[in-house]
Structure 1
Amino acid sequence: MKLQLEMAGGLRTIELERGEDPHQYRATVDGLEVAVEAHLLRPGVLSLIIDNRAYRAVLEDHAEEPTVHLGGQRHTYRIADPRSLKGRRAHAQGSDGPRPIKASMPGRVVRVLAQRGDTVEANQGVVVIEAMKMQNELKSPKAGVVAEVRVVAGGTVAAGDVLAVVE
């Protein structure tokens, strides 16, 4: 299986091949081979051993964007699977028109990094919220201009609230 993973502003090409053991995989990340062992602990929670280092990956299924907690950090990601109709539709939409930045969970606004009228790059931080004792930087979904900022530092937000809009 060959996928493209967009994470932290970078695009990676990943090829996965199942090994002899049902939990073993051979992964190639941007041409570099990596040994992976994966065990499903419960739905949405994986135990991973990658090059002899142990990780616990927890998927957020209620988040606006696909999100994984890995190594004590929260990462949003996008997967492009050439066989996926959903992926082809998302790619076809492009980045035209206004795009909202939404809170993935309830929390408190710690910092507002961009103001109305600021020019931002794709994946540039716009708002930082604190939820479950973790700070999460919410990023611009595209390059453009911040059209609206609907929050202030110190305010609270609910899951799904629009925090800012980038045009």
Structure 2
Amino acid sequence: MAIFICIALLGLGFLFYEAPERGTEPQDAVIPNDKESLFIFVPGEKNDFDKKAVEVRRTLSERAKADYLFGELRKAKAIPASAKLQQLAFGEDGMLYLDVSRAILEQQLDARGEIRVVYALTNSFIASFREVNRVQFLVDGHPVHTLFGVVYTYAPLPFNNDLQEE
């Protein structure tokens, strides 16, 4: 008799149990976000920058994220196609040392062109790396006073809000 009661209770439990449909997540489940956004500032139609967000895997190394940013800036023609990212180093107090190849200097740029190159890099790296608030440019491992005679790059540069699209 006891066996009959146990079987009856199991049968009733099975009838009233609501199983979730296959392939669906329970509504209370927390799905970790494995993506993060990088921000690329490319020259716009006016004298401003357009901000574009791209998603990358959160597990990428800082170097891989930096290489991706650099590649996207080359694709957008914000920096010369032959320019390469040599190294990057995160310093204290939000400083990023960005060492680029001498190819960054190959183009002959006017004042507007230099501002666009310098701040496409500066704004993109500061916006993409939360701990960074200033960028120090190095060319082949050495600081330079200016790339083309307009923007003073010997001192670290902050984000430039004045160049963003309104």
Q: Which has the higher strand share?
A: 1
Q: Which has the larger radius of gyration?
A: 2
TM tier, shorter chain? under 0.3
**TM-score, reference length from structure 2:** 0.27
**TM-score, reference length from structure 1:** 0.26
Q: Which has the higher helix share?
A: 2
